[in-house]
Amino acid sequence: MVTQVEPISSATTSSAIEPAVFFGSVTVPATLTRAALTDKGIFLVDGDLTECRLTYRELHDSAQRVAAGLVADGVRPGDRVCLLSGTDEPLLRTLFGVWYAGAIPVLLPLPRRRGELDGFLADIGRRVEAVDARVLGVADAYAELFRDLARPERRVAAMSDLAAGGPGSAPPLPQDPQATALLQFTSGTTKSSRAVMLSHHNVLSNMAAVWHGYGVGPDEVGMTWLPLNHDMGIIGLLGCVARGNDVVVQSPEDFVASPLSWLSAISRYRVSLIGAPNFAYALAGRLLRNTQRKLDLSCLKWAVNGAEPIDVESLTAFTTAAERYGMRPTVPCPVFGLAEATLCVTMLPTDTPLAVAWVDRDALEVQGRAVPVPADAPGNRRLVACGHPIPGTRLAIRAEDGSDLPDGHVGEIYISGQCVTSGYWNDPRGTEEILVDGWLRTGDLGYMGEQGLVVCGRRKDMIILNGRNIYPEDFEAEAESVDGIRMGNTAAFYDHATDRMILVAEGRVPAGQADALARRLMDHLRRQLPVPPHEVLICPASTVPKTTSGKRQRGRCRELYQANSLPVLGRAARNASTGAQTTGSGR
């Protein structure tokens, strides 16, 4: 029987789901010792679905050996162990070994592009120093690049060496649920990345609330391809381990190389629970419309959509395409969350249709009010409701002066509860910025509606233009609906130096057709938006800067624009007074 989550108001919350009751454990390593009593485990698969099976019993045994080796190297409870690797068996064995040793794992990102190597090395060095790591475990292929980070008090080791473990016995398992379990670096979309401190209780409380809310039982099968340095990747994996679920794990590199393998794995392994950002569902929808592969997606029960703004059109297209392969239309599950709240903050009840809010654009952007209008009303804005707070979490919408706003009014989203971080590691000033009188300032803007929280955008990304509060997501979503624009690869920002709104879009056309695409894109935006951008730029693939978890870095894109460093293939600009357009590559 599926457990339903009852809707709650913005000011109240249902009782917290206690990990000791729901999972039978209160620390992360204790969940693995419990799962090791079952025959369940992890299926590591590549793009061809070649499989490596790692049972929880095998993972438990190897984690004990790894822990023994770490202790022999001088690692003590509370020490930080940084891990830099793709998603593979040595990483998983080492990761749980760190927890068995009572140390704190810090998962670091691999470079997204070959040309980023110098910046990547510097960034990893800063993160390792920031958390004062006792050990840096590096994927064998990268180990020699980081030897310079070794210190008398810090070991730099190949991941295979750490995974092999050492002699002796593992220490007793940590018992304190309030001890730090994980340092989770933020995505760094609007500022430099910071290390969020998450306790065992934070992690397991969050997953207990979500798994209970969805009704995820021990016989369900999960799947993730997200990098484990991403909160949705690591926390989702831990939820499966804690519940004793079989889980299919694929590296993000294999997903990118063969996205259809994600859908094939769901079909083959009868996966019922997945989680991914919006762009993955947009991509899956296109693949399902074009593939001839025989797939059965009737096993899917929950397709969690989070980590980036949710686009109604792409999610609807995915749902429609997946229905042909047996998926029920109520499977998509939009959520709102952030690393500072462990992972998930709000969710819709199971078997709820996609909750679309149609609101008057003028009222939203000029007055900050969500006024419902019919779906076919002119000048509307389409948003997605992400449900009500999970059990044990409170949510409030507040004005700039900190006062609470009524439902239907846009303000900053504040949250409190047992999943909220105690702060950033060794960063008291940053912690003071986000924690106010027991509440977490998320930096996100939204309002409460009939079906829960509706997120409008990031406070620091919002632009005030011609008396309107403009959200970059509006420009990006509209741009990505134009044929020839790469989905998930646009960035809108305001250039304060010239007082102009700029949209950068990666194109899927030959360079000689880029100017024509830019004109077509500008025409579309002028028709669909009350305030179109001053200029649109068409660039090649891999231009728009992103975080290691794939989120757009609008601020970094603005810096590249101002430095004349964007590889512009085509452009279209409007004249503010006449609306005339000019085109031409180069700047």
pTM (two decimals): 0.84
Q: Which residues pair with 332 in a beta bridge?
A: 303
Contact (CB, 8 A) for 503 and 492: yes
Q: Is the dihedral of CA 207, 212, 218, 224 positive or negative?
A: negative
- Rounded distance, CA 492 to CA 482, Å? 15
Question: DSSP state, 5?
Answer: P
Predicted confidence pLDDT, tens digits, the chain (587 residues) = 223 333 333 334 568 999 999 999 999 999 999 999 999 999 999 999 999 999 999 999 999 999 999 999 999 999 999 999 999 999 999 999 999 999 999 999 887 665 567 778 888 999 999 999 999 999 999 888 999 999 999 999 999 999 999 888 889 999 999 999 999 998 654 456 799 999 999 999 999 999 999 999 999 999 999 999 999 999 999 999 999 999 999 999 999 899 999 999 999 999 999 999 888 998 899 999 988 899 999 999 999 998 777 888 888 999 999 999 999 999 999 999 999 999 999 999 888 888 888 999 889 888 899 999 998 888 788 888 999 999 999 999 999 999 999 999 999 999 999 999 999 999 999 999 999 999 999 999 999 998 899 998 888 777 776 667 778 888 898 899 899 999 889 999 888 888 888 999 999 999 999 999 999 999 999 988 888 899 999 999 989 988 766 778 888 899 999 999 999 999 998 864 333 343 444 44
Contact (CB, 8 A) for 412 and 444: yes
Structure tokens belonging to residue 368: 């900050």
Domains of the chain: 20-38+49-250 (3.40.50.12780), 259-460 (3.40.50.12780), 472-583 (3.30.300.30)
Question: DSSP state, 188?
Answer: -
Q: Which residues pair with 276 in a beta bridge?
A: 305
Query: Which phi and psi (to 5°) does residue 137 adopt?
Result: -95, 125
For residue 422, what are the contacts with CB-CB under 8 A and spacing of at least 6? 197, 199, 431
For residue 335, what are the contacts with CB-CB under 8 A and spacing of at least 6? 304, 305, 306, 344, 345, 346, 347, 348, 386, 387
Residue with the two structure tokens 């709000």: 346
Angle at 537 between CA 536 and CA 538, to 5 degrees: 125
- Rounded distance, CA 183 to CA 425, Å? 8
Beta pairing, strands 570-574 & 195-199: unpaired
Contact (CB, 8 A) for 479 and 525: yes
Helix and strand numbers (H, E) in the chain are 17, 29
Counting every residue, how long is the chain? Answer: 587
- Rounded distance, CA 565 to CA 563, Å? 5
- Rounded distance, CA 292 to CA 72, Å? 54
